[in-house]
Amino acid sequence: MPTELQTRHRIYPADARQMAALADASVNLVVTSPPYPMIAMWDSLFGDLDPGISQTLAEGRPQAMFARMHALLDPVWDEIYRVLRPGGFACINIGDAVRSFNGEFGLYTNHARILDHLQRIGFTCLPAILWRKPTNAPTKFMGSGMLPAGAYVTLEHEYILIVRKGGKRRFSPEEQRRRRESAIFWEERNTFFSDVWTDIRGSRQILEVGAGRDRSAAFPFELAYRLILMYAIKGDTVLDPFWGTGTTTLAAITAGRSSIGYEIDPALGRLAAENAQAALVNMQGLLHARLEAHLQFARDWEARKGPLKYRNRHYGFKVMTRQEQEIVFDLPSALMWATDDDIVCDYGGIAFHGSDHPGDGGVVEEQTTNRNPARRPGAPDRQRKLF
Ligand SMILES: C[S@@+](CC[C@H](N)C(=O)[O-])C[C@H]1O[C@@H](n2cnc3c(N)ncnc32)[C@H](O)[C@@H]1O
């Protein structure tokens, strides 16, 4: 059943334009979101790194401002190319900016500028995801309103750019085993690999554990978690060079992947122990909910279309495809701080008892022991009735 899993999480309170602590080809995946050029909340950060930017703003020269801001991000993209292993993916959440200068309203195409640089330095571009946030202001309009030839389309989407260093990743025999254990469910694949995501809200945070700031620029936990499930296997290392409040690390812990973060703002760059410990409960709840959603999907499918063909080998519940037979659920069970910025996470298992046939009342037990939970005898300390 579940394998022995331990993950490690390092945070460097430093500038990601030079990630000197990281060796070439040492991380498997990058999940990140930079400060967005031309969005006013980031003007001062960019201005601190390059005082010439404040000058362009004062002089009302937006194209020069745009160019200088991206020139500050480019070295980080160069660094992620260096530290990614061949076949490793980078997923970059970025929004374009709309802003008026000198009375002229315009769009500043951050996603195109970043993609252009990524391609230039050798990344292979893959289909991107359009993240469309459910709007809470459907009647919002900009420009001339109902009068033609002067109104602007409302910008309600961001991008998740997806690029890869070189060709397909090769998996060692040991990685092939971890890859099978890291499979996602068939019904999850259908949502995750769609090129438009409409089901992730911009503001909602399942796990609110960051150090916080007045206007948190955190991306949603679900966004990072989903990308990690899609593009890394258990035990891999995920890098976020713009770590912020640490959403990527929380998602990596939940997914059973290790993580590394770089964060330049000294007010951030720390995972507060008491908050993160509390988040463990949410992470366990989230994993239970994922399994519960699958069991519900399987029941609904069988009621409508007949028996599913395969069973998961570890837990016995039904799955749609052969590829889901080895999926293992590892529950984060304990976080240990070696230092302020070096954290280790241990995992326990979920043991599934009972049948997944309608009405049979299967039970998932959560085992909070750290090592080889499935092989260790002893009563689980909590039982959750699933249906
Ligand atoms: C959009 S926020 C990232 C938010 C993050 N995804 C989260 O969920 O909290 C961008 C972050 O990058 C940081 N940053 C900007 N330039 C940086 C650099 N050169 N090196 C490291 N961090 C940087 C900013 O301080 C900010 O916290």
What average pLDDT score do residues 357-383 get? 41
Average pLDDT (274-287) is 89
Q: Which of 200, 221, 228, 243 to mutate to test the pocket of ligand 1 (most atoms within 8 A of CB)?
A: 243
In this prediction, residue 201 has a pLDDT band, given cuts at 50, 70 and 90, of confident
The most distant pair of C-alpha atoms in the chain lies apart, rounded to whole Å, by 73
Beta-ladder partners of 2:
none
Structure tokens belonging to residue 190: 């259908």
Q: Which helix (H) or strand (E) holds 385?
A: strand 382-385
**Cα distance between residue 164 and residue 175, in whole Å:** 18
Q: Token digits for 302?
A: 């069988």
User: pLDDT, tens digit, for every residue of 252-271?
Assistant: 999 999 999 999 999 887 88
- Cα-to-centroid distance, 253 and ligand 1 (Å): 19
What is the pLDDT at residue 278? 84
Q: Which atom of ligand 1 is nearest to the CA of 219?
A: 8
Whether residue 380 has pLDDT greater than 50: no
Mutation test of ligand 1: which of 247, 263, 341 has the most ligand atoms closer than 8 Å to its C-beta?
263
Q: Which atom, in ligand 1's list, is nearest to the CA of 210?
A: 9
Per-residue confidence (pLDDT) for residue 376, from 0 to 100? 33
pLDDT score at 178 = 97
Give phi and psi for 281, each to the nearest 5.
Answer: -65, -45
Report the mean per-residue pLDDT for the chain: 88
How would you class 249 by CB atoms within 10 Å of its CB: exposed for 0-12, middle for 13-18, buried for 19 or more?
buried
Taken as a whole, the chain contains a residue count of: 387
Atom of ligand 1 nearest to the CA of 241: 21
Give the pair of three-digit tokens for residue 46: 């960019």
Number of H helices, E strands in the chain: 9, 18
What confidence tens digit (pLDDT) does each residue in 208-238 have?
444 444 456 899 999 999 999 999 999 999 9
Atom of ligand 1 nearest to the CA of 72: 19
User: What letter does residue 34 receive in the DSSP assignment?
Assistant: P
Closest Cα to residue 184, out of 363, 30, 304, 329? Answer: 329
Please give the Cα distance from 152 to 148 (Å, whole number). Answer: 10
**Centroid of ligand 1 to alpha carbon of 96 (angstroms):** 17
Question: Exposed, middle or buried: residue 15 (CB in 10 Å: 0-12, 13-18, 19+)?
Answer: middle
Mutate which of 36, 208, 264, 275 for ligand 1 pocket (most atoms within 8 A of beta carbon): 264
Ligand 1: centre distance to CA 320 (Å): 40
> How confident is the model over 341-366, as a mean pLDDT?
69
pLDDT at residue 271 in the model: 82
Give me the DSSP letters along 155-212: --EEEEEEEEESSPPP--HHHHHHHHHTPPPHHHHHHHTSSEE-S--SS--S---S--
CA–CA separation, 332 vs 368, rounded Å?
8
Q: Which of residues 136 and 372 earns the better pLDDT score? A: 136
- The burial class, CB within 10 Å (0-12 / 13-18 / 19+), for 307 is exposed
pLDDT in tens, 296-330: 999 999 999 999 999 999 999 999 999 999 999 99
Dig out the tokens for 101 from the structure. Answer: 């200068």
Dihedrals phi, psi of 28, to nearest 5 degrees: -95, -25
Query: What's the token pair of residue 366?
Result: 């959560």
Residues flanking ligand 1, CB < 6 Å: 15-17, 33-35, 45, 76, 210, 217-219, 241-242, 244-245, 247, 262-265, 268
Q: What is the mean pLDDT of residues 162-175?
A: 98
